[in-house]
Protein backbone atom coordinates (compact mmCIF):
# COMPACT_ATOMS: atom_id res chain seq x y z
CA UNK A 1 0.00 0.00 0.00
CA UNK A 2 1.14 3.50 -0.79
CA UNK A 3 2.06 5.13 2.49
CA UNK A 4 2.77 8.55 1.04
CA UNK A 5 -0.30 10.70 0.75
CA UNK A 6 -0.70 12.74 -2.36
CA UNK A 7 -1.67 16.21 -1.22
CA UNK A 8 -2.85 17.09 -4.72
CA UNK A 9 -5.39 14.29 -4.94
CA UNK A 10 -8.51 15.50 -6.65
CA UNK A 11 -11.96 13.96 -6.67
CA UNK A 12 -13.22 13.01 -10.12
CA UNK A 13 -16.98 12.84 -10.34
CA UNK A 14 -17.91 10.31 -13.02
CA UNK A 15 -19.21 6.82 -13.52
CA UNK A 16 -21.68 5.01 -11.32
CA UNK A 17 -22.07 7.71 -8.67
CA UNK A 18 -23.06 10.26 -11.31
CA UNK A 19 -25.43 7.91 -13.16
CA UNK A 20 -27.16 6.66 -10.05
CA UNK A 21 -27.57 10.07 -8.43
CA UNK A 22 -29.07 11.49 -11.64
CA UNK A 23 -31.35 8.45 -11.87
CA UNK A 24 -32.43 9.00 -8.25
CA UNK A 25 -33.27 12.64 -9.00
CA UNK A 26 -35.35 11.54 -12.00
CA UNK A 27 -37.20 8.94 -9.91
CA UNK A 28 -37.87 11.55 -7.23
CA UNK A 29 -39.23 14.12 -9.68
CA UNK A 30 -41.38 11.48 -11.38
CA UNK A 31 -42.89 10.09 -8.17
CA UNK A 32 -43.49 13.58 -6.72
CA UNK A 33 -45.26 14.54 -9.97
CA UNK A 34 -47.41 11.41 -9.77
CA UNK A 35 -48.21 12.39 -6.19
CA UNK A 36 -49.46 15.81 -7.30
CA UNK A 37 -51.39 14.43 -10.28
CA UNK A 38 -53.22 11.80 -8.22
CA UNK A 39 -54.61 14.47 -5.90
CA UNK A 40 -52.24 13.88 -3.00
CA UNK A 41 -50.84 17.38 -3.12
CA UNK A 42 -50.75 17.98 0.59
CA UNK A 43 -48.95 14.74 1.30
CA UNK A 44 -46.43 15.43 -1.46
CA UNK A 45 -45.88 18.93 -0.10
CA UNK A 46 -45.36 17.59 3.41
CA UNK A 47 -42.73 15.19 2.07
CA UNK A 48 -41.05 17.91 0.03
CA UNK A 49 -40.91 20.10 3.13
CA UNK A 50 -39.49 17.20 5.15
CA UNK A 51 -36.71 16.43 2.69
CA UNK A 52 -36.08 20.10 1.88
CA UNK A 53 -35.64 20.78 5.58
CA UNK A 54 -33.49 17.67 6.08
CA UNK A 55 -31.31 18.64 3.10
CA UNK A 56 -30.86 22.22 4.36
CA UNK A 57 -30.16 21.04 7.89
CA UNK A 58 -27.45 18.60 6.81
CA UNK A 59 -25.73 21.31 4.75
CA UNK A 60 -26.06 23.90 7.54
CA UNK A 61 -24.63 21.46 10.03
CA UNK A 62 -21.72 21.00 7.59
CA UNK A 63 -20.95 24.71 8.08
CA UNK A 64 -21.38 24.16 11.81
CA UNK A 65 -18.88 21.27 11.70
CA UNK A 66 -16.22 23.44 10.00
CA UNK A 67 -16.85 26.35 12.37
CA UNK A 68 -16.69 24.09 15.42
CA UNK A 69 -13.33 22.65 14.34
CA UNK A 70 -11.85 26.12 13.86
CA UNK A 71 -13.15 27.47 17.15
CA UNK A 72 -11.99 24.40 19.07
CA UNK A 73 -8.65 24.64 17.19
CA UNK A 74 -9.09 20.95 16.51
CA UNK A 75 -6.24 19.21 14.77
CA UNK A 76 -7.63 15.73 14.17
CA UNK A 77 -10.21 16.87 11.63
CA UNK A 78 -7.99 19.09 9.47
CA UNK A 79 -7.51 16.48 6.74
CA UNK A 80 -11.21 15.74 6.30
CA UNK A 81 -12.55 19.31 6.25
CA UNK A 82 -13.17 19.20 2.51
CA UNK A 83 -16.24 17.02 2.99
CA UNK A 84 -18.16 19.43 5.26
CA UNK A 85 -16.88 22.28 3.09
CA UNK A 86 -18.56 20.59 0.13
CA UNK A 87 -21.78 20.48 2.20
CA UNK A 88 -21.38 24.21 2.81
CA UNK A 89 -20.97 24.77 -0.94
CA UNK A 90 -24.29 22.96 -1.56
CA UNK A 91 -26.11 24.99 1.10
CA UNK A 92 -27.13 27.88 -1.23
CA UNK A 93 -28.98 25.45 -3.51
CA UNK A 94 -30.53 23.63 -0.55
CA UNK A 95 -31.71 26.94 0.91
CA UNK A 96 -33.27 28.05 -2.38
CA UNK A 97 -35.06 24.71 -2.76
CA UNK A 98 -36.43 24.93 0.79
CA UNK A 99 -37.61 28.51 0.20
CA UNK A 100 -39.29 27.54 -3.08
CA UNK A 101 -41.11 24.65 -1.37
CA UNK A 102 -42.24 26.91 1.49
CA UNK A 103 -43.35 29.80 -0.74
CA UNK A 104 -45.24 27.43 -3.05
CA UNK A 105 -46.81 25.69 -0.06
CA UNK A 106 -47.94 29.02 1.41
CA UNK A 107 -49.44 30.33 -1.82
CA UNK A 108 -51.08 27.32 -3.45
CA UNK A 109 -54.41 26.42 -1.92
CA UNK A 110 -56.64 23.37 -2.03
CA UNK A 111 -59.79 21.98 -0.47
CA UNK A 112 -59.09 20.20 2.76
CA UNK A 113 -60.42 19.56 6.21
CA UNK A 114 -59.21 21.49 9.23
CA UNK A 115 -60.40 20.16 12.57
CA UNK A 116 -63.36 18.48 10.94
CA UNK A 117 -64.46 21.46 8.82
CA UNK A 118 -64.16 21.73 5.05
CA UNK A 119 -61.90 24.59 4.17
CA UNK A 120 -59.79 26.13 1.46
CA UNK A 121 -56.31 26.25 2.83
CA UNK A 122 -52.70 26.50 1.70
CA UNK A 123 -50.79 23.25 1.31
CA UNK A 124 -48.35 24.12 4.08
CA UNK A 125 -48.84 26.05 7.32
CA UNK A 126 -52.60 25.79 6.89
CA UNK A 127 -53.26 26.37 10.57
CA UNK A 128 -51.84 29.88 10.80
CA UNK A 129 -51.98 30.91 7.15
CA UNK A 130 -55.60 30.00 6.35
CA UNK A 131 -57.59 32.97 5.07
CA UNK A 132 -59.38 34.84 7.85
CA UNK A 133 -57.56 33.30 10.79
CA UNK A 134 -56.53 36.70 12.09
CA UNK A 135 -59.57 38.71 10.89
CA UNK A 136 -62.07 39.34 13.71
CA UNK A 137 -65.57 38.32 12.66
CA UNK A 138 -64.42 35.78 10.10
CA UNK A 139 -65.67 32.23 10.63
CA UNK A 140 -62.04 31.06 10.69
CA UNK A 141 -61.04 33.65 13.32
CA UNK A 142 -58.80 32.17 15.96
CA UNK A 143 -57.91 34.48 18.88
CA UNK A 144 -54.84 32.42 19.83
CA UNK A 145 -53.35 32.64 16.35
CA UNK A 146 -54.38 36.27 16.02
CA UNK A 147 -52.34 36.91 19.14
CA UNK A 148 -49.33 35.27 17.49
CA UNK A 149 -49.79 37.13 14.20
CA UNK A 150 -47.17 39.71 15.12
CA UNK A 151 -44.62 36.95 14.73
CA UNK A 152 -46.36 34.41 12.51
CA UNK A 153 -47.24 36.49 9.48
CA UNK A 154 -46.03 35.70 5.98
CA UNK A 155 -43.76 38.70 5.30
CA UNK A 156 -41.91 38.45 8.62
CA UNK A 157 -41.79 34.66 8.33
CA UNK A 158 -40.16 34.82 4.90
CA UNK A 159 -37.81 37.63 5.90
CA UNK A 160 -36.62 35.55 8.87
CA UNK A 161 -36.03 32.49 6.73
CA UNK A 162 -34.18 34.44 4.05
CA UNK A 163 -32.01 36.31 6.56
CA UNK A 164 -31.13 33.17 8.56
CA UNK A 165 -30.41 30.99 5.56
CA UNK A 166 -28.56 33.86 3.87
CA UNK A 167 -26.32 34.22 6.92
CA UNK A 168 -25.55 30.48 7.01
CA UNK A 169 -24.83 30.50 3.26
CA UNK A 170 -22.43 33.44 3.52
CA UNK A 171 -20.51 31.98 6.45
CA UNK A 172 -20.28 28.56 4.78
CA UNK A 173 -19.12 30.11 1.53
CA UNK A 174 -16.47 32.20 3.33
CA UNK A 175 -15.10 29.25 5.31
CA UNK A 176 -14.67 27.17 2.14
CA UNK A 177 -13.16 30.12 0.27
CA UNK A 178 -10.66 30.95 3.04
CA UNK A 179 -9.55 27.35 3.13
CA UNK A 180 -8.96 27.34 -0.64
CA UNK A 181 -7.06 30.63 -0.53
CA UNK A 182 -5.00 29.25 2.36
CA UNK A 183 -3.98 26.35 0.09
CA UNK A 184 -2.50 28.80 -2.38
CA UNK A 185 -0.92 31.32 -0.03
CA UNK A 186 -0.16 29.36 3.14
CA UNK A 187 0.55 31.06 6.43
CA UNK A 188 -1.66 31.62 9.44
CA UNK A 189 -3.56 34.65 8.16
CA UNK A 190 -6.52 32.72 6.74
CA UNK A 191 -6.61 30.32 9.65
CA UNK A 192 -7.01 33.24 12.05
CA UNK A 193 -9.63 34.78 9.82
CA UNK A 194 -11.53 31.48 9.70
CA UNK A 195 -11.34 31.33 13.49
CA UNK A 196 -12.89 34.78 13.82
CA UNK A 197 -15.76 34.21 11.43
CA UNK A 198 -16.36 30.73 12.90
CA UNK A 199 -16.81 32.23 16.35
CA UNK A 200 -19.21 34.80 14.91
CA UNK A 201 -21.09 32.08 13.04
CA UNK A 202 -21.52 29.90 16.12
CA UNK A 203 -23.06 32.77 18.08
CA UNK A 204 -25.41 33.67 15.23
CA UNK A 205 -26.25 30.03 14.57
CA UNK A 206 -26.92 29.30 18.23
CA UNK A 207 -29.51 32.06 18.47
CA UNK A 208 -31.13 31.72 15.05
CA UNK A 209 -31.26 27.95 14.55
CA UNK A 210 -33.97 27.39 17.20
CA UNK A 211 -36.08 30.13 15.62
CA UNK A 212 -35.44 28.59 12.20
CA UNK A 213 -36.82 25.24 13.35
CA UNK A 214 -39.74 26.97 15.16
CA UNK A 215 -40.63 28.57 11.84
CA UNK A 216 -40.20 25.69 9.44
CA UNK A 217 -41.44 22.79 11.55
CA UNK A 218 -43.05 23.86 14.83
CA UNK A 219 -45.39 26.40 13.21
CA UNK A 220 -47.07 23.55 11.31
CA UNK A 221 -48.98 23.06 14.55
CA UNK A 222 -49.20 26.73 15.38
CA UNK A 223 -51.26 26.43 18.56
CA UNK A 224 -48.61 24.35 20.24
CA UNK A 225 -45.16 25.46 21.23
CA UNK A 226 -42.15 24.11 23.08
CA UNK A 227 -38.99 26.01 23.90
CA UNK A 228 -37.03 22.74 23.76
CA UNK A 229 -37.99 22.27 20.13
CA UNK A 230 -35.05 24.24 18.75
CA UNK A 231 -32.45 22.21 20.64
CA UNK A 232 -34.23 19.00 19.79
CA UNK A 233 -33.98 19.92 16.11
CA UNK A 234 -30.38 20.96 16.52
CA UNK A 235 -29.51 17.56 17.99
CA UNK A 236 -31.30 15.82 15.11
CA UNK A 237 -29.57 17.88 12.42
CA UNK A 238 -26.15 17.51 14.02
CA UNK A 239 -26.37 13.72 14.40
CA UNK A 240 -27.70 13.30 10.88
CA UNK A 241 -24.98 15.57 9.46
CA UNK A 242 -22.25 13.68 11.32
CA UNK A 243 -23.67 10.42 9.96
CA UNK A 244 -23.69 11.81 6.43
CA UNK A 245 -20.10 13.09 6.78
CA UNK A 246 -18.92 9.72 8.10
CA UNK A 247 -20.79 7.78 5.42
CA UNK A 248 -19.37 10.04 2.70
CA UNK A 249 -15.83 9.54 3.98
CA UNK A 250 -16.28 5.77 4.27
CA UNK A 251 -17.59 5.56 0.71
CA UNK A 252 -14.83 7.83 -0.62
CA UNK A 253 -12.26 5.64 1.09
CA UNK A 254 -13.83 2.52 -0.36
CA UNK A 255 -13.38 4.08 -3.80
CA UNK A 256 -9.71 4.80 -3.27
CA UNK A 257 -9.86 8.44 -2.17
CA UNK A 258 -8.77 9.98 1.14
CA UNK A 259 -6.52 7.11 2.14
CA UNK A 260 -5.02 9.34 4.83
CA UNK A 261 -8.21 8.99 6.85
CA UNK A 262 -7.55 6.16 9.28
CA UNK A 263 -9.54 4.12 11.77
CA UNK A 264 -8.61 6.78 14.32
CA UNK A 265 -10.45 9.54 12.47
CA UNK A 266 -13.46 7.28 11.97
CA UNK A 267 -13.31 6.38 15.65
CA UNK A 268 -13.53 10.09 16.52
CA UNK A 269 -16.48 10.58 14.19
CA UNK A 270 -18.11 7.50 15.71
CA UNK A 271 -17.66 8.96 19.17
CA UNK A 272 -19.32 12.19 18.08
CA UNK A 273 -22.22 10.25 16.51
CA UNK A 274 -22.62 8.15 19.65
CA UNK A 275 -22.39 11.10 22.02
CA UNK A 276 -24.80 13.28 20.12
CA UNK A 277 -27.29 10.43 19.69
CA UNK A 278 -27.42 10.29 23.47
CA UNK A 279 -27.74 14.09 23.51
CA UNK A 280 -30.65 13.80 21.05
CA UNK A 281 -32.36 11.35 23.41
CA UNK A 282 -31.68 13.67 26.30
CA UNK A 283 -33.37 16.69 24.68
CA UNK A 284 -36.15 14.52 23.23
CA UNK A 285 -36.88 13.25 26.71
CA UNK A 286 -36.47 16.68 28.32
CA UNK A 287 -39.21 17.96 26.03
CA UNK A 288 -41.40 14.92 26.61
CA UNK A 289 -41.03 14.71 30.38
CA UNK A 290 -42.08 18.29 31.12
CA UNK A 291 -45.13 18.05 28.89
CA UNK A 292 -46.08 14.65 30.31
CA UNK A 293 -45.56 15.73 33.90
CA UNK A 294 -47.39 19.08 33.75
CA UNK A 295 -50.16 17.50 31.65
CA UNK A 296 -51.58 20.82 30.43
CA UNK A 297 -53.98 20.11 27.55
CA UNK A 298 -52.59 22.69 25.11
CA UNK A 299 -49.13 21.23 25.57
CA UNK A 300 -49.88 17.52 25.76
CA UNK A 301 -51.93 17.63 22.57
CA UNK A 302 -48.65 17.29 20.65
CA UNK A 303 -47.90 13.87 22.11
CA UNK A 304 -51.55 12.90 22.16
CA UNK A 305 -51.66 13.16 18.37
CA UNK A 306 -48.50 11.11 18.08
CA UNK A 307 -50.04 8.52 20.37
CA UNK A 308 -52.90 7.79 17.97
CA UNK A 309 -52.83 4.42 16.21
CA UNK A 310 -51.44 5.72 12.90
CA UNK A 311 -48.40 7.32 14.64
CA UNK A 312 -47.82 5.17 17.70
CA UNK A 313 -45.65 2.62 15.91
CA UNK A 314 -43.48 5.33 14.29
CA UNK A 315 -43.26 7.15 17.63
CA UNK A 316 -41.71 4.12 19.31
CA UNK A 317 -39.61 3.12 16.30
CA UNK A 318 -38.06 6.61 16.35
CA UNK A 319 -36.71 6.08 19.88
CA UNK A 320 -35.59 2.54 19.16
CA UNK A 321 -33.59 3.54 16.07
CA UNK A 322 -32.13 6.82 17.24
CA UNK A 323 -31.41 5.90 20.86
CA UNK A 324 -31.20 2.12 21.23
CA UNK A 325 -29.45 1.76 17.85
CA UNK A 326 -26.31 3.76 18.58
CA UNK A 327 -26.37 2.79 22.27
CA UNK A 328 -26.21 -0.92 21.53
CA UNK A 329 -24.22 -0.89 18.29
CA UNK A 330 -21.43 1.66 18.63
CA UNK A 331 -20.82 2.03 22.33
CA UNK A 332 -17.89 -0.39 22.25
CA UNK A 333 -14.55 0.85 20.99
CA UNK A 334 -14.15 -2.03 18.55
CA UNK A 335 -17.43 -1.38 16.76
CA UNK A 336 -16.53 2.29 16.22
CA UNK A 337 -13.28 1.11 14.67
CA UNK A 338 -14.93 -1.48 12.41
CA UNK A 339 -15.78 0.32 9.19
CA UNK A 340 -18.67 -1.94 8.19
CA UNK A 341 -20.39 -1.55 11.56
CA UNK A 342 -19.92 2.21 11.56
CA UNK A 343 -21.24 2.41 8.01
CA UNK A 344 -24.37 0.42 8.90
CA UNK A 345 -24.94 2.66 11.95
CA UNK A 346 -24.63 5.80 9.80
CA UNK A 347 -27.23 4.50 7.35
CA UNK A 348 -29.50 3.49 10.25
CA UNK A 349 -29.24 6.97 11.77
CA UNK A 350 -29.80 8.77 8.47
CA UNK A 351 -33.02 6.77 8.08
CA UNK A 352 -33.79 7.26 11.77
CA UNK A 353 -33.63 11.03 11.58
CA UNK A 354 -35.79 11.00 8.47
CA UNK A 355 -38.33 9.22 10.66
CA UNK A 356 -37.74 11.80 13.40
CA UNK A 357 -38.63 14.64 11.01
CA UNK A 358 -41.53 12.55 9.67
CA UNK A 359 -43.04 12.41 13.15
CA UNK A 360 -42.50 16.15 13.64
CA UNK A 361 -44.04 17.19 10.32
CA UNK A 362 -46.79 14.75 9.36
CA UNK A 363 -49.37 15.24 12.15
CA UNK A 364 -49.46 18.99 11.41
CA UNK A 365 -49.90 18.52 7.67
CA UNK A 366 -51.62 15.34 6.51
CA UNK A 367 -52.86 14.41 9.98
CA UNK A 368 -54.58 11.03 10.14
CA UNK A 369 -54.24 10.43 6.41
CA UNK A 370 -50.57 9.65 6.91
CA UNK A 371 -49.04 6.76 5.06
CA UNK A 372 -45.81 5.33 3.86
CA UNK A 373 -45.68 4.55 0.18
CA UNK A 374 -44.14 5.63 -3.12
CA UNK A 375 -44.49 9.37 -2.37
CA UNK A 376 -42.44 9.17 0.83
CA UNK A 377 -39.87 6.88 -0.77
CA UNK A 378 -39.78 8.78 -4.05
CA UNK A 379 -39.23 12.20 -2.51
CA UNK A 380 -36.58 10.81 -0.15
CA UNK A 381 -34.76 9.03 -2.98
CA UNK A 382 -34.94 12.16 -5.13
CA UNK A 383 -33.40 14.35 -2.45
CA UNK A 384 -30.71 11.77 -1.63
CA UNK A 385 -29.81 11.76 -5.32
CA UNK A 386 -29.83 15.55 -5.45
CA UNK A 387 -27.65 15.83 -2.37
CA UNK A 388 -25.20 13.19 -3.63
CA UNK A 389 -24.97 14.81 -7.05
CA UNK A 390 -24.49 18.38 -5.80
CA UNK A 391 -22.18 17.43 -2.96
CA UNK A 392 -19.88 15.24 -5.08
CA UNK A 393 -19.93 17.89 -7.77
CA UNK A 394 -18.86 20.52 -5.20
CA UNK A 395 -16.20 18.12 -3.93
CA UNK A 396 -14.78 17.64 -7.43
CA UNK A 397 -14.40 21.43 -7.77
CA UNK A 398 -11.83 21.56 -4.99
CA UNK A 399 -8.26 21.60 -6.34
CA UNK A 400 -7.25 19.01 -3.75
CA UNK A 401 -9.18 16.73 -1.41
CA UNK A 402 -7.05 17.88 1.50
CA UNK A 403 -6.52 21.42 2.82
CA UNK A 404 -2.79 21.08 2.22
CA UNK A 405 -1.65 24.30 3.94
CA UNK A 406 -3.89 23.93 6.98
CA UNK A 407 -1.67 24.64 10.00
CA UNK A 408 -2.87 21.50 11.83
CA UNK A 409 -2.58 19.19 8.82
CA UNK A 410 0.39 17.21 10.14
CA UNK A 411 -1.39 16.64 13.42
CA UNK A 412 -4.35 15.28 11.52
CA UNK A 413 -2.25 13.03 9.28
CA UNK A 414 -0.57 11.55 12.35
CA UNK A 415 -3.75 11.41 14.38
CA UNK A 416 -3.67 8.50 16.75
CA UNK A 417 -5.94 7.55 19.62
CA UNK B 1 26.24 -13.34 41.30
CA UNK B 2 25.45 -9.66 41.37
CA UNK B 3 22.81 -8.21 43.63
CA UNK B 4 21.36 -6.08 40.83
CA UNK B 5 17.60 -6.40 40.64
CA UNK B 6 16.71 -3.87 37.95
CA UNK B 7 18.66 -2.11 35.23
CA UNK B 8 17.42 1.38 34.42
CA UNK B 9 18.27 3.19 31.18
CA UNK B 10 17.72 6.89 31.71
CA UNK B 11 17.13 9.10 28.67
CA UNK B 12 16.84 12.82 28.08
CA UNK B 13 14.86 12.51 24.90
CA UNK B 14 11.77 10.44 24.15
CA UNK B 15 12.92 9.61 20.59
CA UNK B 16 16.20 8.20 21.89
CA UNK B 17 14.24 6.22 24.44
CA UNK B 18 12.11 4.79 21.65
CA UNK B 19 15.35 3.77 19.86
CA UNK B 20 16.45 2.16 23.10
CA UNK B 21 13.23 0.10 23.18
CA UNK B 22 13.84 -0.92 19.55
CA UNK B 23 17.42 -1.95 20.34
CA UNK B 24 16.38 -4.03 23.34
CA UNK B 25 13.58 -5.71 21.41
CA UNK B 26 15.93 -6.50 18.50
CA UNK B 27 18.19 -8.29 20.98
CA UNK B 28 15.24 -10.06 22.65
CA UNK B 29 15.76 -8.37 25.99
CA UNK B 30 12.41 -8.39 27.84
CA UNK B 31 11.44 -4.91 29.06
CA UNK B 32 9.87 -4.74 32.51
CA UNK B 33 8.28 -1.31 32.10
CA UNK B 34 8.88 2.21 30.82
CA UNK B 35 8.31 5.36 32.87
CA UNK B 36 7.83 8.74 31.22
CA UNK B 37 6.77 12.13 32.53
CA UNK B 38 4.18 12.49 29.76
CA UNK B 39 2.13 10.19 27.52
CA UNK B 40 3.96 9.11 24.38
CA UNK B 41 2.10 8.18 21.21
CA UNK B 42 2.52 4.64 20.00
CA UNK B 43 4.47 3.41 23.01
CA UNK B 44 1.71 1.09 24.21
CA UNK B 45 1.54 -0.65 20.83
CA UNK B 46 5.35 -0.95 20.78
CA UNK B 47 5.49 -2.48 24.25
CA UNK B 48 2.51 -4.73 23.50
CA UNK B 49 0.36 -3.29 26.29
CA UNK B 50 -3.26 -4.40 26.07
CA UNK B 51 -6.08 -1.88 25.66
CA UNK B 52 -7.43 -0.57 28.92
CA UNK B 53 -10.54 -2.32 30.19
CA UNK B 54 -11.60 0.71 32.23
CA UNK B 55 -14.50 1.31 29.84
CA UNK B 56 -16.00 -2.09 30.64
CA UNK B 57 -15.74 -1.31 34.35
CA UNK B 58 -17.49 2.02 33.76
CA UNK B 59 -20.25 0.25 31.84
CA UNK B 60 -20.81 -2.29 34.58
CA UNK B 61 -20.85 0.41 37.28
CA UNK B 62 -23.33 2.39 35.19
CA UNK B 63 -25.62 -0.62 34.90
CA UNK B 64 -25.29 -1.19 38.62
CA UNK B 65 -26.18 2.43 39.46
CA UNK B 66 -29.22 2.44 37.18
CA UNK B 67 -30.50 -0.85 38.55
CA UNK B 68 -29.92 0.18 42.17
CA UNK B 69 -31.87 3.42 42.04
CA UNK B 70 -34.64 1.96 39.90
CA UNK B 71 -35.11 -0.78 42.48
CA UNK B 72 -35.07 1.72 45.34
CA UNK B 73 -37.58 4.04 43.70
CA UNK B 74 -39.76 1.09 42.74
CA UNK B 75 -39.74 -0.15 46.32
CA UNK B 76 -40.57 3.29 47.79
CA UNK B 77 -43.07 4.62 45.30
CA UNK B 78 -44.75 1.52 43.92
CA UNK B 79 -44.44 -1.28 46.44
CA UNK B 80 -44.12 0.14 49.92
CA UNK B 81 -45.92 3.48 49.90
CA UNK B 82 -47.74 4.22 46.62
CA UNK B 83 -48.59 7.90 46.29
CA UNK B 84 -50.90 9.69 43.89
CA UNK B 85 -48.70 12.35 42.33
CA UNK B 86 -50.55 14.53 39.85
CA UNK B 87 -52.92 11.69 38.98
CA UNK B 88 -50.18 9.61 37.40
CA UNK B 89 -49.91 5.84 37.67
CA UNK B 90 -48.07 4.58 40.70
CA UNK B 91 -45.58 2.90 38.41
CA UNK B 92 -44.92 5.91 36.14
CA UNK B 93 -41.70 5.01 34.35
CA UNK B 94 -41.01 8.44 32.76
CA UNK B 95 -40.86 9.96 36.25
CA UNK B 96 -38.16 7.48 37.23
CA UNK B 97 -35.90 8.13 34.26
CA UNK B 98 -34.13 11.34 35.39
CA UNK B 99 -33.02 9.84 38.69
CA UNK B 100 -32.04 6.57 37.00
CA UNK B 101 -29.97 8.54 34.50
CA UNK B 102 -28.27 10.54 37.23
CA UNK B 103 -27.37 7.50 39.30
CA UNK B 104 -26.07 5.74 36.21
CA UNK B 105 -23.74 8.66 35.55
CA UNK B 106 -22.77 8.96 39.22
CA UNK B 107 -21.91 5.27 39.62
CA UNK B 108 -20.12 5.12 36.28
CA UNK B 109 -17.90 8.12 37.05
CA UNK B 110 -17.10 7.27 40.67
CA UNK B 111 -16.75 3.60 39.84
CA UNK B 112 -14.36 4.38 37.02
CA UNK B 113 -12.25 6.69 39.22
CA UNK B 114 -12.00 4.15 42.04
CA UNK B 115 -11.27 1.29 39.63
CA UNK B 116 -8.45 3.37 38.21
CA UNK B 117 -7.05 4.06 41.70
CA UNK B 118 -7.32 0.39 42.56
CA UNK B 119 -5.67 -0.81 39.36
CA UNK B 120 -2.78 1.64 39.61
CA UNK B 121 -2.26 1.30 43.38
CA UNK B 122 -3.05 4.93 44.03
CA UNK B 123 -4.75 5.65 47.29
CA UNK B 124 -4.78 8.83 49.33
CA UNK B 125 -1.87 8.75 51.74
CA UNK B 126 0.00 5.98 49.96
CA UNK B 127 3.55 6.80 48.88
CA UNK B 128 3.92 6.16 45.18
CA UNK B 129 6.23 3.35 44.10
CA UNK B 130 8.82 4.86 41.82
CA UNK B 131 11.93 3.26 40.33
CA UNK B 132 13.63 6.56 39.64
CA UNK B 133 12.21 9.82 40.92
CA UNK B 134 13.41 11.73 37.85
CA UNK B 135 10.89 9.82 35.72
CA UNK B 136 8.25 12.11 37.20
CA UNK B 137 10.17 15.20 36.18
CA UNK B 138 12.22 15.33 32.98
CA UNK B 139 13.74 11.88 32.36
CA UNK B 140 12.52 8.89 30.39
CA UNK B 141 13.27 5.58 32.04
CA UNK B 142 13.37 2.04 30.64
CA UNK B 143 13.37 -0.62 33.36
CA UNK B 144 14.73 -4.12 32.66
CA UNK B 145 14.41 -7.04 35.01
CA UNK B 146 18.03 -8.03 35.75
CA UNK B 147 17.24 -11.73 35.96
CA UNK B 148 17.53 -12.09 32.15
CA UNK B 149 20.09 -14.32 30.51
CA UNK B 150 21.95 -11.68 28.56
CA UNK B 151 24.99 -10.34 30.38
CA UNK B 152 24.34 -7.02 32.00
CA UNK B 153 27.22 -5.44 30.10
CA UNK B 154 25.40 -6.07 26.78
CA UNK B 155 22.29 -4.37 28.09
CA UNK B 156 24.41 -1.42 29.21
CA UNK B 157 25.87 -1.15 25.73
CA UNK B 158 22.51 -1.32 23.96
CA UNK B 159 21.15 1.45 26.17
CA UNK B 160 24.26 3.61 25.80
CA UNK B 161 24.25 3.17 22.03
CA UNK B 162 20.65 4.38 21.85
CA UNK B 163 21.69 7.53 23.74
CA UNK B 164 21.03 6.83 27.41
CA UNK B 165 22.55 9.55 29.57
CA UNK B 166 22.89 7.14 32.46
CA UNK B 167 22.50 3.42 33.16
CA UNK B 168 21.71 2.50 36.74
CA UNK B 169 21.90 -0.92 38.38
CA UNK B 170 19.45 -0.89 41.25
CA UNK B 171 19.63 -3.35 44.11
CA UNK B 172 16.08 -2.71 45.14
CA UNK B 173 13.04 -2.40 42.95
CA UNK B 174 11.66 0.91 44.15
CA UNK B 175 13.47 3.92 45.52
CA UNK B 176 10.47 4.83 47.60
CA UNK B 177 8.36 2.55 49.75
CA UNK B 178 5.62 3.58 52.06
Mean pLDDT along residues A106-120:
80
Q: Kindly give the interhelix angle for A41-71 and A154-185, rounded to the nearest 10 degrees.
A: 40
Give me the residues of chain B with pLDDT under 70, please. 1, 148-149, 176-178
Mean pLDDT along residues A268-293:
95
Mean pLDDT along residues A40-65:
94
Specify the pLDDT at position B87: 86
> Vertex B15, ends B13 and B19: CA angle to 5°?
115
Whether A295 and B55 lie within 8 Å, measured CB to CB: no
Whether A295 and B41 lie within 8 Å, measured CB to CB: no
- CA distance, residue A367 to nearest chain B CA (Å): 26
- What does the alpha-carbon distance between residue A67 and residue A84 come to, in Å, rounded to a whole number? 10
Whether A416 and B41 lie within 8 Å, measured CB to CB: yes
- CA distance, residue B53 to nearest chain A CA (Å): 11
Q: What percent of chain A has pLDDT over 90?
A: 75
Mean pLDDT along residues A225-251:
95
Q: Are A223 and A145 in contact (CB under 8 A)?
A: yes
- Cross-chain CB nearest to B86 (options A285, A293, A332): A293
Instruction: For A283-320, write each residue's pLDDT tens digit.
Output: 999 999 999 999 899 999 999 999 999 999 999 999 99
DSSP state of A323: I
Assembly ipTM: 0.81
Domain residue extents for chain B = 6-50+129-170, 54-119
- Cross-chain CB nearest to B97 (options A285, A332, A416): A285
Mean pLDDT of all residues belonging to chain A: 92
Whether B55 and A289 lie within 8 Å, measured CB to CB: no
**CATH 2.60.120 for the B6-50+129-170 domain, yes or no:** no
Chain A residues in contact with B55 by the CB 8 A cut-off are 332-333
Instruction: For A3-30, write each residue's pLDDT tens digit.
Output: 566 777 888 888 888 999 999 999 999 9
Chain B residues in contact with A416 by the CB 8 A cut-off are 41-42
Specify the pLDDT at position A126: 87
Max Cα-Cα span within chain A? 77
Is 90 exceeded by the pLDDT of residue A395?
yes
Specify the pLDDT at position A1: 41
Whether B55 and A292 lie within 8 Å, measured CB to CB: no
> Vertex B40, ends B36 and B41: CA angle to 5°?
165
- What does the alpha-carbon distance between residue A214 and residue A222 come to, in Å, rounded to a whole number? 9
Specify the pLDDT at position B132: 86
Whether B41 and A289 lie within 8 Å, measured CB to CB: no
Whether B42 and A288 lie within 8 Å, measured CB to CB: no
Instruction: For A26-40, write each residue's pLDDT tens digit.
Output: 999 999 999 999 888
Nearest-Cα residue of chain B relative to residue A327 = B59
Instruction: For A78-99, write each residue's pLDDT tens digit.
Output: 999 999 999 999 999 999 999 9
Specify the pLDDT at position A283: 95
Q: What is the pTM of this model?
A: 0.90
Instruction: For A200-209, write each residue's pLDDT tens digit.
Output: 999 999 999 9
Amino acid sequence: MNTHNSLDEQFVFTGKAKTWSLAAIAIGVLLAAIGFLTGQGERTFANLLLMGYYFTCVCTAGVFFCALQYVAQAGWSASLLRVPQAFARVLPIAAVILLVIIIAGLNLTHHTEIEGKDAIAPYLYKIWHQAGVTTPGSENYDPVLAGKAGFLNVPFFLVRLIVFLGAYVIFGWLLAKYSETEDELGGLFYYKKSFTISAAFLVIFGFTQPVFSFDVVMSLEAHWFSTMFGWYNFAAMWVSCLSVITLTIILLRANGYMQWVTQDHLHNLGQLIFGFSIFWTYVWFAQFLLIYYANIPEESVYFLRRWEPEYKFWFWLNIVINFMGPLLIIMARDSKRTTSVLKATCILLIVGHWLDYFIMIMPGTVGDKVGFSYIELGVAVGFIGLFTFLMLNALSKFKSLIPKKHPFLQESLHHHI
Amino acid sequence: MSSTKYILGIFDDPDEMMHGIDGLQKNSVPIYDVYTPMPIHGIDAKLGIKDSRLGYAAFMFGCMGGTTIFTIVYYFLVHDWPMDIGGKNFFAIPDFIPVTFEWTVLFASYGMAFTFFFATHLFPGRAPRVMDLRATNDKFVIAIDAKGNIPHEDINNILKEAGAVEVKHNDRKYVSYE
